């Protein structure tokens, strides 16, 4: 092999070695790029499937507002009977609101009774409450509506006239006088299941204006703080002072709604959005001088 041939062979080897090295580098770079492409693909898939939005939403989630926490008696809106069941626990807040009781229809729920120390005090309609007369308190029925109340435990019935507002304890629909409670044998049990039937009513029981009570406090400052918190979203909001036998209460009430059905829908809105246990109450004409708790 002559000198020229040997030089030519050396040039071919150097070029081949250089090309092979470039090929190795190219393969390594391709592998690295392939891993990066796979990672980018996974991130893109996660983004499209909503992973990023879920994490962002979790970071922004705020706890639901909680109703102010007065004592158990204040949360119930005051007691309504000397022999009564305890207020419903917080776990029962999600129960639906009581059904309305228009003329010609019935309403079922629990009845309590009240006597001393309310005997001799002024009721919501302005009369002096006499626990030996056949009267009762109801949150929405017009004053002077006559109602037949049947104790579902024993079938005994009584007929009462609505003269007062209440009871403001969850899962109770009517508060009977002592005389009425005696007629249906509910004095001992304190709270019994009943059916209400409207016997007569001067006006349509579902017409008129209603409001929703969302809290009752012994401390006016607590009532004002709740009012101020809700004031940005709801109107009107007002505080009603109630002088009970065991002290003064400040009731926070929201809205002035025409019609009982609309008021109950508004109450359910307050329940779901704010976490309250709402009580729909009729807005009576003229000043309310008293009131059953």
What does the alpha-carbon distance between residue 256 and residue 209 come to, in Å, rounded to a whole number? 6
Pick 204 or 108 by higher pLDDT.
108
245 with 117: CB under 8 angstroms? yes
pLDDT value of residue 281 = 97
DSSP 267-284: HHHHHHHH----EEEE--
| pLDDT greater than 90 at residue 199 | yes
What is the mean predicted confidence (pLDDT) over 61-73?
30
Give the pLDDT confidence of 235-280 residue by residue, as tens digits. Answer: 999 999 999 888 999 999 999 999 999 999 999 999 999 999 999 9
Q: What percent of the chain has pLDDT over 90?
A: 58
pLDDT at residue 289 tops 50 = no
The helix (run of H) or strand (run of E) holding residue 157 is strand 157-164
Buried b / exposed e along 137-146 (16+ C-beta atoms within 10 A): bbbbbbbebb
Q: Is residue 2's pLDDT more than 90?
A: no
Q: What confidence score (pLDDT) does residue 109 get?
A: 97
Model pTM greater than 0.75? no
Which residue in 158, 255, 263, 138 sits closest to 206, CA to CA? 263
Q: Which phi and psi (to 5°) does residue 52 adopt?
A: -60, -40
For residue 166, give both structure tokens: 């209440």
Q: What is the mean pLDDT of residues 41-61?
A: 37
Question: Residue 285: its pLDDT value, please?
Answer: 76
Question: Residue 202 — pLDDT band, cuts 50, 70, 90?
Answer: confident
pLDDT at 85 over 70: no
Query: Residue 129: is its pLDDT beyond 80?
Result: yes
Each residue's pLDDT tens digit, 206-222: 899 999 999 999 999 99
| pLDDT (tens digit per residue) in 164-182 | 999 999 899 999 999 999 9
């Amino acid at each position: 092999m002559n000198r020229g041939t040997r030089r030519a062979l050396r040039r071919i080897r150097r070029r081949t070695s250089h090309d092979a090295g470039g090929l190795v580098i190219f393969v390594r770079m391709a592998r690295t790029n392939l891993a990066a492409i796979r990672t980018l693909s996974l991130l893109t898939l996660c983004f499209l499937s909503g992973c990023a939005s879920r994490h962002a939403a979790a970071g922004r989630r705020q706890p639901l507002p909680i109703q102010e926490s007065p004592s158990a008696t204040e949360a119930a809106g005051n007691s309504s009977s000397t022999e009564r069941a305890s207020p419903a626990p917080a776990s029962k807040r999600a129960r639906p609101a009581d059904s309305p009781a228009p003329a010609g229809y019935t309403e079922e729920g629990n009845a309590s009774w009240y006597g001393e120390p309310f005997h001799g005090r002024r009721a919501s309609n302005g009369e002096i409450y006499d626990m030996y007369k056949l009267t009762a308190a109801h949150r929405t029925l017009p004053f002077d509506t006559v109602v037949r109340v049947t104790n579902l435990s024993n079938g005994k019935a009584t007929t009462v006239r609505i003269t007062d507002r209440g009871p403001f304890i969850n899962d109770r629909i009517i508060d009977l006088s002592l005389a009425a409670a005696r007629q249906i044998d509910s004095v001992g049990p304190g709270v019994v299941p009943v059916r209400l039937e409207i016997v007569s009513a001067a006006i349509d029981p579902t017409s008129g204006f209603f409001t929703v009570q969302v809290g009752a406090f012994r401390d006016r400052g607590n009532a004002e703080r709740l009012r101020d918190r809700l004031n940005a979203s709801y109107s009107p909001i007002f505080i009603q002072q109630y002088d009970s036998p065991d002290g003064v209460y400040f009731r926070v009430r929201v809205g002035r709604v025409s019609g009982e059905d609309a008021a109950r829908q508004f109450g359910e809105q307050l329940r779901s959005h704010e976490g309250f246990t709402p009580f729909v109450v009729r807005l009576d004409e003229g000043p309310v001088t008293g009131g059953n708790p």
